[in-house]
Amino acid sequence: MAKVFFTKEITPEGLKRVYEALGVSLRGKIGVKVSTGEKGAKGYLKADLIGPFVKSLNGVIVECNTAYPGERNKASDHMKVAEEHGFTSFAEVDIMDAEGEIKIPVRQGKHLKYDLLGSHFDNYDSFVNLAHGKGHTMGGFGASLKNQSIGFASRNGKAYIHSCGKTKSPRLCWMSKHEQIDFIESMAEAATAVADYLKESGRQIVYITVMNALSVDCDCDSKQGDPVMGDLGIVASLDPVANDQAFIDMIWASSDPGADALRERIDSRLGREILPYAESLGLGSRKYELVEV
């Protein structure tokens, strides 16, 4: 059974504590995958919270360009937003698909034949999947699995996942016809492909989700709404499925009156369906032990 470490303390110290509880020592050059947040968004992880942790790892903030039109679909513009949002104040920022992409195999599933990652992905020896837990307009919710699938994907890779394997064109992907469950499953397939690729090359990844600023909207939304419920804390695990399941379980167990809005957003998009499908692909387990630290 997977262990998920948890603290209610959303501070640099709390972040460091859940990471240390994992008992791992990441090797070599470390990429820290966070969302830099669309211009106008409010909920992205802030420099004063994650900066000390990233600096302690000598980590590099890694991101990829967006498939949708906006301020982050070109590397030069994306870097400006990353600077405006404070990420360059504490770490180097690498837009991993600024110089192209790499194709990795999707060995299991029914929608994707491959996955496309930013070409700089192979410059890193280890990764921290540092997600912001929140709702999402298309996926229902975003946390470890979304950050691993959509987050690591190049601009074309994002289009390929969003179209459920029909096109890698950012222009055409939004016109593709598919069922909502197909998109949810495509994200799980891409997340599994990344985990398999890392395992096959002997590299490690750990999963941390900060559950604050809980809006029904994603940090990719320039008109992101205000939080709908109170902060929950931070969870960390070596298992992304368990980590996301713990996040979901805390939302469903919450008596916060605003939690209903987040639950509605998640279920209206079939968001929870990513968990059993990812488990069926062998990415992780929905069964976990929650350990408060």
Task: Map out the domains of the chain as residue ranges.
Answer: 2-292
67, 187, 91, 68: which is closest to 79 by C-alpha?
91
Q: What is the 3-state secondary structure (H, E, C) of 126-193?
A: EEEEEEECEEECCCEEECHHHHHHCCCECHHHHHHHHCCCCCCCCCCHHHCCCCHHHHHHHHHHHHHH
65, 36 contact by CB (below 8 A): no
Residue 260 tokens read as 């209903």
Q: Is the pLDDT of residue 273 over 90?
A: yes
Neighbours of 194 (CB within 10 A): 25
| Confidence grade of residue 53 (pLDDT, cut at 50, 70, 90) | very high
Q: What is the pLDDT of residues 130-162, one digit of tens each?
A: 999 999 999 999 999 999 999 999 999 999 999
pLDDT at residue 182 above 90?
Answer: yes
Q: Class of 2-292 per CATH?
A: alpha beta
Per-residue pLDDT of 200-249, as tens digits, reads 999 999 999 999 999 999 888 888 999 999 999 999 999 999 999 999 99
At 219 the pLDDT is 87
124: left (phi over 0), alpha (psi -120 to 50) or beta: beta
Tokens of 281: 């692909």
Helix ranges, the chain (H):
12-21, 47-56, 75-84, 144-149, 155-162, 180-200, 240-253, 259-268, 274-280
Asked if residue 46 has pLDDT above 90, the reply is yes
**What is the per-residue pLDDT across 57-97, written as a single tens digit (0 to 9) for each?**
999 999 999 999 888 989 999 999 999 999 999 999 999 99
Residues paired with 99 in a beta bridge: none
pLDDT band at 27 (very low <50, low <70, confident <90, very high): very high
